[in-house]
Chain A
Amino acid sequence: MKRLLTLAGLAALPVLVLGVFFVLPVTGMLGQGLWPDGRFAPGDVLEVLARPRVHRVLWFTVWVAATATLVTLLLGVPTAYALHRLRVPGRSVVRAAFLVPFVLPTVVVGIAFDRLVSTGPLEVLGLDGSPVTIIAAMVFFNLAVVVRTVGAAWEGLDPRPGEAAAALGASPWQVFRTATFPALRGSVVSAASVVFLFCSTAFGIVLVLGGLRYSTVETEIYLLTTSLFDLPAAAALCLLQLLVVTVLLLLAARARSAPGQAARRRVEPSRVRLYDAPALLATALGLLLVAVPIAMLVTGSLRVDGAWSLANYRALDTTGGDGLVDVTVVEALVNSLRTAVDATWIALLIGGLVAVIATRRSHGPAERRIRGLLDGFFMLPLGVSAVTLGFGFLITLDEPPVNFRESPLLVPIAQALVAMPLVVRTLVPVLAGIDDRQRQAAHSLGASPLRALVTIDLAVVWKPLLAAAGFAFAISLGEFGATSFLSRVDHPTLPVLIYRLLGQPGTHNYGMALAAAVVLALATASVMFVVERLRVPGVGGF
């Protein structure tokens, strides 16, 4: 009983936050659709689900997201190995580079990809407006998730079982298949489920690159809500999306429950050997995929009137007027950084609590089920469209005691909701890998639960925690959907400002937007690079 109370106490804050800032708004919007005139009308919803168009949209969403996830894994897992286990020169720079796409405004990346396939060197492939481009862009955005999540797990993996397998005559591939992969499975499934969710709820990429020829569930919800005002249909799709996400999460949870616990220890990165060539090749491919659109962006920002120039960058600290939204890029960057600090601590606090709750040893199946449910529950925000959530905020958070519509924390909280599942998925495999008897040993030696958390858990999750913080920070820096909805006009974040610049005619605004996007990318890369540096070698040795 007391244990359940402790559990409830720990879970109270995360559940409250999720309840107020997720469940309440989403149910509010669903209510608008299901009770159109104050009358419960589920018939409309069922009718929507029978539409052939909805079936088409659902099928497209699933196959595109599944393909993109698969490709991301195929490129990302070897890359994680190369960047976390091999002594590749410039590893930390490359690792930081993989995170850059995460924060780039979708519309900017969309234009870069579009130009790549429509006018660039890849024009001959005839990929303009094809799903291939959409999938490539999804991989572009999500490689970092796999590289980070799997890399963090791989870094501390005990190599001895693999060496034992090799000694028994297993080829490198067999070693991977029989010894390494089973130990990594938790993190791979974690990463895959996050990537799949990101891909299946991708919004900007599909609209920009699909040229409106393709619709996913997410874009359909957007159109139904903002353009057709068909809230019952939007609610139907939203429910469908939640259902699919829930099923996926259940499947993932089952696949994740890896047998046994992988031993963890500090391992020095090893010398590159011949059979590492495929991994290095995958890394090179991934890097190319990430670098080319960014390079197009950078060159674009350096071109003015057909000539090379830094004029776009010189314009960054000017406003060119006294307008209300004439905020300089530098000011917007500061706004972005402040928002990101908030979003990061919120995501880490809530996500960390959830991860701790989900991985503590359960007494009895009931408690285990509760912990499992909580774990899954906090993944749900990934499965709900930003539009639904944004409108939900407006209509449900307007009355005391939840009068948060005007709160300056609304933007960081919305961003933290997106970052939180990633934090949870990064921390859970590592925390679950800690032998609970370590904590018990500490307790028996007189360590309070908090002290044990610091000396045992924190010492081990230190690196993944930093990685998660970096993620949360990057997500916040790049978030646009919810932010554009909720931010204040005189305090735009950098992505909002970029979007505004792009919305104004005049080529110098376009160039300035590209330059601002490059600055945003650089800012993120530097933050990530610093985080990498913080991961002092030997941090293992508390």
Chain B
Amino acid sequence: MLSLHQVTVTYGAAVAVDDVSLELSAGEVLAVLGPSGCGKSTLLRAVAGLEPVSAGRITFDGGDLAGVPTHKRGFALMFQDGQLFNHQSVGANVGYALRIRHRPRREVATRVEELLELVGLAGYADRAPATLSGGERQRVALARALAVEPRLLLLDEPLSALDKSLRERLALDLREILTRAGTTALFVTHDHEEAFAVADRMALMRAGRPVQDGTLAEVWEHPADSEAASFLGYPTVLDGSAADAVLTAAGLPVGDGVALRRSALRVSAEGPLHGVVLSSRVTPDAVRVEVDVPGVGVVASVTSDGTAPPSPGQEVRLEVARNRLAVIPRR
């Protein structure tokens, strides 16, 4: 189990990672989610042993990792763009870590085949990395990282370079592969969907500092603050009188902030809030309506199934679904 205790990493005068403590149990996948430049990649690199830690301790299964060079940590790191060795074939890339450990040639060959099959690239062993698509390259990188069953797999935005549909599909594959192999993984990303698709637990980071961590559900249901809520994917985050208005409408005590999922506000004839429709758009799931609610502002909402989309300028009433919002405690 990986444990970070008050870890700080600095670059000259700049503090990239500031006093971060985290725990990761065996077999668990932890996503560190944060915007670009928040220090999450530096944190990952510090765990990998690629950045010196200026303060704090990183331990694995109780052993302090300070002074253990990268190659002796028994981890594996997978980069955003895979960093395949272009001068080696796909098979040679996947077998790299095994060859380094002087495993018998036959065992390497078998394992390479196994791994390629695992990532859905059976028969690709002799291809050159340069001939692969982006998704295929990432799969090869994953297979390469998994080859020696690392104690800990470190993933640095492994899917960000891919297009959306591929990303969604590969995220699910990744989740399945990691679960099936029982791999412990630390995974950094700026994409909340990726984090939700792959991880068991999640830690939010901002400006080098941890904001919040917990299981997916915990984090999702109780964002630490409004910024965290926005980053987690809530389209509407309110506070002050706007929040009070919505909370009142939901029958909840006022005084806190509130983060609303799109489906938290629904067009309904009996709803407690009322406003003017700015635009509406039909999507496969629902009709999305932007409504300007006096005292609250412009909010995203949906219509009930089967109702015709309201036209801009039309007055509507909105009801609030209590199970589709998150209360953000005021500090």
Task: Please determine if A and B sit in direct contact within the complex, based on CB atoms under 8 angstroms apart.
Answer: yes
Given contacts A364-B11, A365-B12, A440-B70, contact A446 B97 (CB under 8 A): yes
User: Is A455 part of the binding interface, using a Cβ–Cβ cutoff of 8 Å?
Assistant: yes
> Smallest distance from the beta carbon of B306 to chain A beta carbons, Å?
50
Within the assembled complex, what's the spacing in Å between the Cα atoms of A365 and B70? 23
Contact present for B75 and A444 (CB under 8 Å): yes
Contact present for B154 and A444 (CB under 8 Å): yes
CB-CB nearest in chain B for A451: B100
Number of chain B interface residues as a range? 35 or more
Contact present for B48 and A442 (CB under 8 Å): no
Contact present for A446 and B101 (CB under 8 Å): yes
User: Is A505 part of the binding interface, using a Cβ–Cβ cutoff of 8 Å?
Assistant: no
User: Is A406 part of the binding interface, using a Cβ–Cβ cutoff of 8 Å?
Assistant: no
> Smallest distance from the beta carbon of A77 to chain B beta carbons, Å?
26
Within the assembled complex, what's the spacing in Å between the Cα atoms of A452 and B96? 11
B74 partner, pick from A266, A363, A438, A446, beta carbons under 8 A: A446
What chain B residues lie within 8 Å of A437 (beta carbons)?
79, 83
Given contacts A363-B11, A363-B52, A542-B92, contact A444 B87 (CB under 8 A): no
User: Is A265 part of the binding interface, using a Cβ–Cβ cutoff of 8 Å?
Assistant: yes
- CB-defined interface of A424-462 with B at 8 Å, one 1/0 digit per residue? 000000000001011011111111110110011001100
Contact present for B145 and A364 (CB under 8 Å): no
What chain A residues lie within 8 Å of B79 (beta carbons)?
437, 440-441
User: Is A503 part of the binding interface, using a Cβ–Cβ cutoff of 8 Å?
Assistant: no
Contact present for B71 and A438 (CB under 8 Å): no
Given contacts A364-B11, A437-B79, contact A443 B70 (CB under 8 A): yes
Contact present for A445 and B85 (CB under 8 Å): no
User: Is B89 part of the binding interface, using a Cβ–Cβ cutoff of 8 Å?
Assistant: yes
> Smallest distance from the beta carbon of B108 to chain A beta carbons, Å?
13
Contact present for B87 and A540 (CB under 8 Å): yes
User: Is A541 part of the binding interface, using a Cβ–Cβ cutoff of 8 Å?
Assistant: yes
- CB-defined interface of B138-160 with A at 8 Å, one 1/0 digit per residue? 00000011011000001000000
Contact present for B71 and A448 (CB under 8 Å): yes
B96 partner, pick from A266, A363, A440, A442, beta carbons under 8 A: A442
CB-CB nearest in chain A for B156: A437
B130 partner, pick from A265, A435, A460, beta carbons under 8 A: A265
Contact present for B48 and A440 (CB under 8 Å): yes
What chain A residues lie within 8 Å of B49 (beta carbons)?
443
- CB-defined interface of A399-441 with B at 8 Å, one 1/0 digit per residue? 0000000000000000000000000000000000001011011
A438 partner, pick from B11, B83, B89, B97, beta carbons under 8 A: B83
What chain A residues lie within 8 Å of B87 (beta carbons)?
459-460, 540-542
Given contacts A444-B77, A445-B145, contact A456 B100 (CB under 8 A): no
Contact present for A3 and B52 (CB under 8 Å): yes
Contact present for B85 and A455 (CB under 8 Å): yes
Given contacts A265-B86, A364-B12, A451-B100, contact A445 B154 (CB under 8 A): no
User: Is B50 part of the binding interface, using a Cβ–Cβ cutoff of 8 Å?
Assistant: yes
What chain A residues lie within 8 Å of B74 (beta carbons)?
446
What chain B residues lie within 8 Å of A452 (beta carbons)?
71
- CB-defined interface of A243-268 with B at 8 Å, one 1/0 digit per residue? 00000000000000000000011100
Number of chain A interface residues as a range? 20 to 34
Tell me how many residue pairs across A and B have CB atoms closer than 8 Å. 92
The residues in B between 96 and 150 inclusive whose CB is less than 8 angstroms from any CB of A are 96-97, 100-101, 128, 130, 144-145, 147-148
Within the assembled complex, what's the spacing in Å between the Cα atoms of A266 and B87? 9
The residues in B between 56 and 80 inclusive whose CB is less than 8 angstroms from any CB of A are 69-79
User: Is B280 part of the binding interface, using a Cβ–Cβ cutoff of 8 Å?
Assistant: no
Within the assembled complex, what's the spacing in Å between the Cα atoms of A448 and B83? 17
Pick the most buried of B79, B87, B148, B154: most chain A CB atoms within 10 A of its CB: B87
What chain A residues lie within 8 Å of B100 (beta carbons)?
445-447, 451
Pick the most buried of A3, A364, A443, A542: most chain B CB atoms within 10 A of its CB: A443
What chain B residues lie within 8 Å of A438 (beta carbons)?
83, 85
CB-CB nearest in chain A for B144: A445
B71 partner, pick from A266, A363, A364, A446, beta carbons under 8 A: A446
Within the assembled complex, what's the spacing in Å between the Cα atoms of A349 and B135? 41
Within the assembled complex, what's the spacing in Å between the Cα atoms of A460 and B70? 22
Pick the most buried of B50, B72, B86: most chain A CB atoms within 10 A of its CB: B86
Given contacts A265-B130, A451-B100, A456-B85, contact A445 B76 (CB under 8 A): yes
Within the assembled complex, what's the spacing in Å between the Cα atoms of A130 and B145? 65
User: Is B248 part of the binding interface, using a Cβ–Cβ cutoff of 8 Å?
Assistant: no
Pick the most buried of B49, B100, B154: most chain A CB atoms within 10 A of its CB: B100
Of the A-B pairs whose beta carbons lie under 8 Å apart in the complex, a sample of 26, sorted by A's number, is A2-B52, A364-B11, A437-B79, A440-B45, A441-B77, A441-B83, A441-B85, A443-B48, A443-B50, A443-B70, A444-B70, A444-B73, A444-B77, A444-B154, A445-B144, A445-B145, A445-B147, A445-B148, A446-B74, A446-B100, A446-B101, A449-B69, A452-B71, A541-B87, A542-B87, A542-B92
5 more A-B residue pairs beyond the given contacts A444-B71, A446-B74, A452-B71, with a C-beta to C-beta distance below 8 A: A265-B130, A440-B83, A441-B77, A441-B85, A445-B145
B interface, CB within 8 angstroms of A: 11-12, 45, 48-52, 69-79, 83, 85-89, 92, 96-97, 100-101, 128, 130, 144-145, 147-148, 154
